[in-house]
Amino acid sequence: MRVLLVTDAWHPQINGVVRTLDKLAQELTLAGHRVELLTPSGFPTIPLPSYSDIRLALAPPRRIARRIEAARPDHIHIATEGPLGLLARRFCIARGLSFTTSYHTRFPEYLRARFPVPESWTYRWLRRFHNAGAGTLVATPSLGAELTQRGFTNVRLWTRGVDTETYRPDRKPALDLPRPILLSVGRVAVEKNLQAFLDLDLPGSKVVVGDGPALAALKARYPDAVFLGSRTGEELADIYASADLFVFPSRTDTFGIVILEALASGLPVAAYPVTGPLDVLGDGLGGALSDDLGQAIRAALAIPRGDARAKAMAYSWSSCAALFLHHVRAAHDEAG
């Protein structure tokens, strides 16, 4: 099968969307499928207002049409709601082509955190965007139920995976700090709610890995925390394995792939009982959830590292790709 993945989020960005699509493309290719990518690469870009690290493509509609036609895809999957996603959606509708979408990011909440825009307005626009497709793929059952209640149709579950060979407990030590070492990894931005973690009075060391628009302000406000900036690959895996606990303070993520990376590294996870953490850790294995984040941290510190690793072994990128293909084929069957 020839699959075209359309995404406004791509390298050099470091986030869950890019990681998911990159791994999906690799797994589909290994399974013998042809994958084409339509990304901002090769187009002029402008910075996203309030978040200059994210660049939006300035793509002429005719050029997008030519790119899609040249790819000759059997299926088109639109992963993001940015300029490329909008143009690909318009192309599919004009040609009467079936396509699927995925819902990765809570833009209504992220937008409201920066500007006084009612969430209902943004959800109305997103509902129109996604409901035009043959299926909206979401990472967790709780997110699927929420979007269905908001009027999204054809919501389908598409879970995530983790590389358990790279992220594992037996890697070389990378952090020499007072213990327990409490680690948080992700984009350093207002919607990640890092203040909830950094404000806590806890023994040991607080370590933050990641970059983003709030980094300078948080470093100035919390001089006792250790900010390592962006880390990837083997270096990031070493940092995970060197910590004692993973703290995920976000209340707005749709999943949180870093949760799986931490679990695979043998790190119990402390988080709020919200979409993502609740879906992965709601059974009480591998982590602790509480509306009191400090309480969740204290409870998670008592969880054996082996339990965390065992939880991660249930997730794989090959299963993620197989589930994606299942939804693609279902969409084609329904389209006739």
pLDDT in tens, 200-252: 999 999 999 999 999 999 999 999 999 999 999 999 999 999 999 999 999 99
Q: Please indicate, yes or no, whether residues 12 and 120 belong to a single structural domain of this protein.
A: yes
pLDDT tier at 322, thresholds 50, 70, 90: very high
Alpha carbons 287 and 65: distance in angstroms, whole number: 46
As a whole number, mean pLDDT of residues 117-144 equals 96
Tokens found for residue 245 = 């606990």
37 found inside a domain: yes
Q: Please indicate, yes or no, whether residues 153 and 249 belong to a single structural domain of this protein.
A: no
Alpha carbons 81 and 9: distance in angstroms, whole number: 10
As a whole number, mean pLDDT of residues 308-325 equals 97
167 found inside a domain: no
Q: Please indicate, yes or no, whether residues 14 and 154 belong to a single structural domain of this protein.
A: yes
Q: Which residues pair with 182 in a beta bridge?
A: 206, 245
* Three-state SS at 258: helix
275 found inside a domain: yes
pLDDT tens, position by position, 136-148: 999 999 999 999 9
Q: Please indicate, yes or no, whether residues 249 and 283 belong to a single structural domain of this protein.
A: yes
Number of H helices, E strands in the chain: 14, 14
Q: How many domains does the chain have?
A: 2
Q: Which residues pair with 159 in a beta bridge?
A: none
E strand segments, 217-277: 226-229, 245-248, 269-271
Q: Please indicate, yes or no, whether residues 322 and 297 belong to a single structural domain of this protein.
A: no
328 found inside a domain: yes
232 found inside a domain: yes
As a whole number, mean pLDDT of residues 255-270 equals 97
pLDDT tier at 179, thresholds 50, 70, 90: very high
Q: Please indicate, yes or no, whether residues 89 and 16 belong to a single structural domain of this protein.
A: yes
Alpha carbons 167 and 300: distance in angstroms, whole number: 19
E strand segments, the chain: 2-6, 34-38, 45-48, 51-57, 75-78, 99-102, 136-138, 155-157, 181-185, 205-209, 226-229, 245-248, 269-271, 287-289
pLDDT tier at 49, thresholds 50, 70, 90: confident
238 found inside a domain: yes
CATH number at residue 216: 3.40.50.2000
What pLDDT score was predicted for residue 57?
95
What pLDDT score was predicted for residue 336?
65
172 found inside a domain: no
What pLDDT score was predicted for residue 334?
82
What pLDDT score was predicted for residue 223?
98
- Tell me which residue range forms the domain holding 98: 2-161+317-335
Whole-model pTM?
A: 0.92
176 found inside a domain: no
As a whole number, mean pLDDT of residues 68-94 equals 97
pLDDT tier at 53, thresholds 50, 70, 90: confident
Q: Please indicate, yes or no, whether residues 263 and 323 belong to a single structural domain of this protein.
A: no
Q: Please indicate, yes or no, whether residues 106 and 248 belong to a single structural domain of this protein.
A: no
Sheet with 181-185: strands ordered across: 226-229, 205-209, 181-185, 245-248, 269-271, 287-289
What pLDDT score was predicted for residue 86?
98
Q: Please indicate, yes or no, whether residues 151 and 201 belong to a single structural domain of this protein.
A: no
Q: Please indicate, yes or no, whether residues 201 and 225 belong to a single structural domain of this protein.
A: yes
Q: Please indicate, yes or no, whether residues 301 and 330 belong to a single structural domain of this protein.
A: no
pLDDT tier at 112, thresholds 50, 70, 90: confident
Alpha carbons 111 and 93: distance in angstroms, whole number: 27
Q: Please indicate, yes or no, whether residues 151 and 93 belong to a single structural domain of this protein.
A: yes
